[in-house]
Amino acid sequence: MDLALAHETLARWQFGFTTVYHYLFVPLTISLAALTAGLQTAWVRTEKEKYFRATKFWGKLFLINIAMGVATGLVQEFQFGMNWSAYSKFVGDVFGAPLAMEALLAFFFESTFIGLWIFGWDRLPRKVHLGCIWMVSIGTFLSSYFILAANSFMQHPNGYRIAANGRAQLTSISKVLFQDTTLAAVFHTLAACFIVGGAFMVGISAYLVLRARRQPLEERDGTKIATIRTSLRLGLWTALAGGIGALLSGDTIGRVMVQQQPMKMAAAEGLWHTAAPAPFSLFAIGSLHQGRNVFEFNIPGLLSFLSYHDFHSPVRGIVDVARQESTQFGGEWQHYVPDIFESFWAYRGMITFGMISVAIAVAGLWLTRQKRWIDPRFRRPETELPLLMLTRERELSPFLTTWAWRIALLTLGFPLIGNALGWLFTEMGRQPWVVYGLMTTADAVSPNVSVTEQIISLGVFAVLYGALAVVEVRLLIKYVRKGIGDEPPPSHEPLPRGPLSPESDDEPLTFAY
Which one, 59 or 198, has the nearer CB to other proteins? 59
Residues 143 to 202 in contact with other proteins, rule: CB under 8 A:
163, 167, 169-171, 173
The total number of residues shown for the chain amounts to: 513
**447 scored as a contact of other proteins (CB under 8 A):** yes
Binding part of the chain for other proteins, among 47-55, 77-85, 231-239, 378-386 by CB under 8 A, reads 77-85
3-state secondary structure of 357: helix
Per the CB < 8 A criterion, the answer to whether 250 and 350 are in contact is no
One DSSP character per residue, 210-248 reads HHHHHS-GGG--HHHHHHHHHHHHHHHHHHHHHHHHHHH
Which one, 410 or 471, has the nearer CB to other proteins? 471
Which one, 273 or 482, has the nearer CB to other proteins? 482
Taking the alpha carbons at both ends of the chain, their separation in whole angstroms is: 49
Binding part of the chain for other proteins, among 41-49, 185-193, 219-227, 452-460 by CB under 8 A, reads 452-460
Beta bridge partners of 207: none
Which one, 44 or 71, has the nearer CB to other proteins? 71
d(CA 472, CA 50): 27
Of 46, 81, 285, 466, the one binding other proteins (CB under 8 A) is 81
H helix runs in 47-155, sequence order:
49-83, 85-101, 108-119, 126-155
Of 312, 335, 406, 482, the one binding other proteins (CB under 8 A) is 482
Which one, 111 or 274, has the nearer CB to other proteins? 111
Which one, 89 or 213, has the nearer CB to other proteins? 89
Binding part of the chain for other proteins, among 74-82, 189-197, 200-208, 229-237 by CB under 8 A, reads 74-82
**26 scored as a contact of other proteins (CB under 8 A):** no
42: Cβ–Cβ under 8 A, 6 or more apart, which residues?
A: 48, 51
Of 9, 41, 48, 89, the one binding other proteins (CB under 8 A) is 89
**70 scored as a contact of other proteins (CB under 8 A):** yes
Burial 171-187 (b: 16+ CB within 10 A, else e): eeeebbbebbbbbbbbb
Of 77, 251, 296, 384, the one binding other proteins (CB under 8 A) is 77
d(CA 204, CA 480): 7
Total binding residues toward other proteins, as defined by CB under 8 A? 86
H helix runs in 270-382, sequence order:
302-308, 318-329, 340-367, 370-373
**478 scored as a contact of other proteins (CB under 8 A):** yes
**485 scored as a contact of other proteins (CB under 8 A):** yes
**330 scored as a contact of other proteins (CB under 8 A):** no
Which one, 376 or 508, has the nearer CB to other proteins? 508
513: Cβ–Cβ under 8 A, 6 or more apart, which residues?
A: none
At position 300, the amino acid (one-letter code) is: P
Per the CB < 8 A criterion, the answer to whether 325 and 317 are in contact is no
Per the CB < 8 A criterion, the answer to whether 317 and 273 are in contact is yes
Cβ atoms within 10 Å, residue 436: 17
Which one, 85 or 402, has the nearer CB to other proteins? 85
Which one, 99 or 363, has the nearer CB to other proteins? 99
Element (H, E) at 22: helix 3-46
Residues 92 to 121 in contact with other proteins, rule: CB under 8 A:
92-97, 99-105, 107-109, 111-116, 118-120
Residues 224 to 253 in contact with other proteins, rule: CB under 8 A:
none
d(CA 66, CA 24): 11
Of 4, 6, 47, 78, the one binding other proteins (CB under 8 A) is 78
**453 scored as a contact of other proteins (CB under 8 A):** yes
Of 20, 67, 247, 396, the one binding other proteins (CB under 8 A) is 67
